[in-house]
Amino acid sequence: MTNLDVGSLTVVGTGFGGGGQITADASHTIATSEKVLYLVDDASTAEWIRAANPTSESLGDCYLGRDDRLKTYFDIAERILSFVRRGLRVCAVFYGHPGVFVYPSHEAIVRARNEGFEARMLPGVSAADCLFADLGVDPGRRGCLAFDATDFLVRRRQADVTVPMILWQVGAVGRVDYPRDGNHDNIKILSDVLEELYGRGHEVVIYEAARTPGCHPRIEFVCLENLPTASINLISTIYLPPRDEPLVDADMARRLAMPEDFLLSSKGVASGYIPWRPHAGPKPRRPQGG
């Protein structure tokens, strides 16, 4: 049984870059909801949300005086649900994709549905989408691994050094609070593990999506041995290009009746997972049909 007439919840995302990536569905939901609660990371997006709907209210104060991230997330979810329980059509707005590394959005939807309310999530532009575009990485060419940095370490996730890998929330690796000290010791542990897999000289990318209009993303190349002394923020992502070229199972390719030139074209193909360096001249054009 659902309480369709006494409240509902729609969770949306704003993407990055000052709200320029907000979808039409998300924009319409923000404008037409009876209550809007938002958690975004730039002033221009917050101003746009308030202008679009005068009922808008920031969730930022939920972080004040709090060090336990999980408790903060629970408080955010409960605050969102408090308005749904009043019978309002509520829109909860988060930056980026509302379902990617946004614990309270999922928690709020689960609680709402368990209480009989209609709840849904609309997709948004995530940091991964921005990374693929900014670095020129195509995950469809060689696949892509992605892990939370803490999860990668404590669960001993298996890296495949022939496949691109993304590590999220590197600045908060191993922490359940909000690290304000740089978290250098834990980043050094992460770096040591990665060096064992890739080698000290393997070059990776510290990436941060552009957060305001007119700004550029952060794209910084650094060798793993220098990662502990690099500037790592809470929003920093690490992209690791493959160390080795993937092998092609020739027998399987033949069983699939694939052309022989596929085996040759699959060797030494860097495009699709080695990032283009910004400010290094024009990005090379791919051959027609490549």
Rounded Cα distance between 262 and 259, Å, is 6
CA–centroid distance for 43 within its chain: 20
Q: Which of 50, 63, 69, 243 is catalytic?
A: 69
Rounded Cα distance between 236 and 218, Å, is 9
Residue 154's H or E segment, with its range, is: helix 149-154
Rounded Cα distance between 205 and 180, Å, is 22
Query: Position 158: which residue type?
Result: Q
DSSP codes of every residue in 88-121 = -EEEEEESB-TTSS-HHHHHHHHHHHHTT-EEEE
Rounded Cα distance between 94 and 36, Å, is 11
Residue 49's H or E segment, with its range, is: helix 43-52
Burial bucket for residue 288 (CB in 10 Å: 0-12, 13-18, 19+): exposed
63: annotated active-site residue: no
Q: How is the chain split among helix, strand and coil, in percent rounded to 5?
A: 35, 15, 45
178: annotated active-site residue: no
Q: Which of 38, 95, 198, 239 is catalytic?
A: 95
Residue 145's H or E segment, with its range, is: strand 145-148
Helix (H, G, I), strand (E, B) or coil at 226: helix
- Cβ-Cβ contacts under 8 Å for 251 (sequence gap 6 or more): none
Q: Which of 73, 207, 239, 273 is catalytic?
A: 73
156: annotated active-site residue: no
Q: Would you name the residues annotated as active-site residues?
A: 69, 73, 95
